[in-house]
Amino acid sequence: MKYETAKIKDNTEIQNIIISQIKDFINLKNLELGDKLPSQRVLSEKFNVSRRHVGEAIEKLEFYGVLKSVPQSGTFVENIGITALNGIIEDIIALDKQDFKSLVETRLMLETKTACLATIRRTEEDLENIETALNNYKVKVLNREDALEEDLLFHLAIAKASGNSTINALMLQITPKIISVLEDTRVCGADERLKELQNHEAIYHAIKIQDTELAVKVMKVHFEMLIAFCDNFEK
């Protein structure tokens, strides 16, 4: 069955369709450990989608341990068994359909952990990167410009400083979805923007002086506004 990508609004939906088609292909061909998938070009033609979307779907399946790409060789099925493979893929698709508040609650758990770890593990280079992201965010806020992207980069700099690649990858998975919802629905007043800037500065300060308790505390305070927004958000 072919899909017209122009009729599909959300990139995640496109990925989920491709992931489901890859699952069906693996089942149809009875592929097992080490079996090779067709090239991204062939899959894009077969599914009638762009190679970019196929690549993104494969990257997601790699992240969850379903596939493995080998440079110059191709993409192969991992050793998890067909039953487990089908279950994991269904879980991946279901994960992308979670409600907005669940995503925010998950992000808060990740953010408090990254803040804690960053205070312990951060290097001077990490601290400089966090400070640079903070300053970029500050410029946008003080100029009353949209700063959602700078906000994201600030938090990702902290996640990187945590030294935990899995948490960092999870942040990359869920945060863009949150950002896209906020871009469409949230309106912040000047006072709220300044308050969020102060929270960012407090988080940076806690990481700088390596105070784990303070870092977790101010991170939770920072997310109070977003949690309150969730309570009023109509899905």
Distance CA 74, CA 49 (A): 19
Per-residue exposure over 91-112, b if at least 16 CB sit within 10 Å of its own CB, e if not: ebbeebeeebeebbbbbbebbb
Q: Which two tokens stand for residue 83?
A: 């039953």
Strands (E), the chain: 67-70, 74-77
User: CA-based angle 205:139:121, to the nearest 5?
Assistant: 30
Q: pLDDT band for position 215 (50/70/90)?
A: very high
Q: Which two tokens stand for residue 73?
A: 């060789």
User: CA-based angle 90:16:160, to the nearest 5?
Assistant: 90
Q: Which of 53-57, 186-190, 206-210 shows the lowest per-residue confidence on average (mean pLDDT)? A: 186-190
The CA R_g of the chain, rounded to the nearest whole Å, is 20
Q: Which two tokens stand for residue 143?
A: 């100029």
Q: Which of 34-48, 94-108, 109-123 shows the lowest per-residue confidence on average (mean pLDDT)? A: 94-108
- Whether 95 shows a pLDDT value over 70: the answer reads no
Q: What pLDDT, in 10s, does the model give residues 14-58? A: 888 999 999 999 888 888 888 999 999 999 999 999 999 999 889
Distance CA 18, CA 79 (A): 21
Give the type of residue at 232: N
User: What DSSP line would sit under 179-213, residue for residue?
Assistant: HHHHHHH----HHHHHHHHHHHHHHHHHHHTT-HH
Contact 54, 40 (CB under 8 A): yes
- Whether 90 shows a pLDDT value over 90: the answer reads no
Q: Which two tokens stand for residue 177?
A: 């979805």
